[in-house]
Amino acid sequence: MLALRLHGKGDLRLGEEPEPIPTDSTPLIRLGAVGLCGSDRHWYLDGSIGDSGIDHPLILGHEAAGVIMSGPRSGQRVAIDPAAVCHRCEFCRIGSSHLCPEVRFAGHGDVDGALREVMTWPDDTLVPIPDSMTMEEAALIEPLSVAMHAVDLGSVPEGADVGVFGCGPIGLMIVQLCLMAGARSVVALEPLPHRAAAALRNGAYVIAGDGSDPIGEIEEATEGHGLDVVFESAGAQESVDAAVSAARRGGRVVVVGIPSDDRITLRASEARRKELSMVFSRRSKPMSERAIALVTAGSVDAQSLVDARYSLRDWQGAFDTLVARSATKVMINPFDGGGEL
């Protein structure tokens, strides 16, 4: 099989490898679509993410879908939950398995991910998808779940004015989810024109955030009272600063983005004076079925986010696009035979 491994900072290599051997509990999956995420960008540019590095060549990719090729579920089309958890710890037992200290996450640390033609992965993480769902939509179930978890943490009240600062795929999904939850308005702060245009199409009031006075514009858009909930989804210090300044007194800031240098700061006096609540969002709780239902019902438009497609052999073009942030969502078809599975 073809597999793409990260050997170090900026050093990806495509090569032939033996296929993994399936077991009763870890069936073989032919990958139909793999989305590239901001975290894959961190791995590629920095050779690490947060405080995690690599100690051996790593296959990236955790937004994935495919077809089971072995065992009793052979032929079933599935979305792949990249988090394999222990099911025994206190967090797994209370439904917060995203906090499991024993989690093995595909494409992270020492756990190989999905940028290969086939992979094995625990059977209990493979969620069936309806025939009407494309492989690309199924690969987006994981980032949609991340967005859903963030919105749950935000506790967005009906009629709220919401901010989404950073409109990559997860930010754009947050825009859709907040409007679906009954937000009065969603203010999107996004300097990249194609992402700003996507936020506008998704129903947000868009501020470019390109050096003008975004806080003044937000105050004008919210009639002077600021934002009830702000989602920081850019992973940038200036976005965190803007979120604190734009939040109203008693408001809430949900930090979703991952900063490159693993550190953010804030003006304590402003956050304290406003008595802001700040919460950090980690991946997602188990909610793939809920995410699949939203996409199937047409409540969330995931397919429209995909605007760049590559084969695994053209991985360099895919990662060049990812690094340049010139597309909203880069999708790779790993199966060398091509076509929709």
pLDDT at 194: 94
Class of domain 2-140+302-333: alpha beta
Q: Is 305 exposed, middle or buried (0-12, 13-18, 19+ CB in 10 A)?
A: buried
Give the strand pairing for 126-128 and 205-207: unpaired
Q: 149: closest CA among 198, 100, 96, 190?
A: 96
111: DSSP letter: B
What are the backbone dihedrals phi and psi of residue 90, each rounded to the nearest 5 degrees, phi first? -60, -35
N-term to C-term CA, the chain: 17
Alpha-carbon gap, residue 188 to 196, rounded angstroms? 8
Give the strand pairing for 227-232 and 205-207: unpaired
Mean pLDDT of successive 10-residue segments in the chain (341 residues)? Answer: 96 97 97 96 90 90 98 97 97 96 95 98 98 97 98 96 97 98 95 95 87 78 87 94 95 94 89 96 95 97 96 97 97 70 58
What are the backbone dihedrals phi and psi of residue 105, each rounded to the nearest 5 degrees, phi first? -110, 125
Q: How far is CA 148 from the centre of its chain?
A: 10
Give the strand pairing for 118-120 and 28-35: antiparallel
Is 237:214 a contact under the CB 8 Å cutoff?
no
Alpha-carbon gap, residue 185 to 178, rounded angstroms? 9
Is 322:132 a contact under the CB 8 Å cutoff?
no
Report the greatest alpha carbon distance in the chain.
61
Sequence letter at residue 110: D
Cα separations in angstroms, 111 against 41, 57, 108, 286, 310:
17, 10, 6, 20, 24
Using CA atoms of 233, 236, 238, 243 in order, give the dihedral in degrees to the nearest 10: 20
pLDDT at 53: 85
Domain boundary assignment for the chain? 2-140+302-333, 145-280
Q: 291: closest CA among 133, 155, 171?
A: 133
Alpha-carbon gap, residue 152 to 281, rounded angstroms? 10
Q: 243: closest CA among 256, 224, 258?
A: 256
Q: How many residues does the chain have?
A: 341
pLDDT at 340: 54
Sequence letter at residue 249: R
Alpha-carbon gap, residue 168 to 154, rounded angstroms? 18
pLDDT at 338: 47
What are the backbone dihedrals phi and psi of residue 280, each rounded to the nearest 5 degrees, phi first? -105, 130
The whole-model pTM stands at: 0.94
Q: Cβ atoms within 10 A of the Cβ of 267, count?
A: 12
286: DSSP letter: S
Residues 6+ apart with CB under 8 A from 69: 22, 27, 28, 29, 30, 118
Sequence letter at residue 184: R
- Domain at 145-280, CATH homologous superfamily: NAD(P)-binding Rossmann-like Domain (3.40.50.720)
Q: 36: closest CA among 77, 6, 68?
A: 6
The helix (H) or strand (E) run that includes residue 199 is helix 193-201
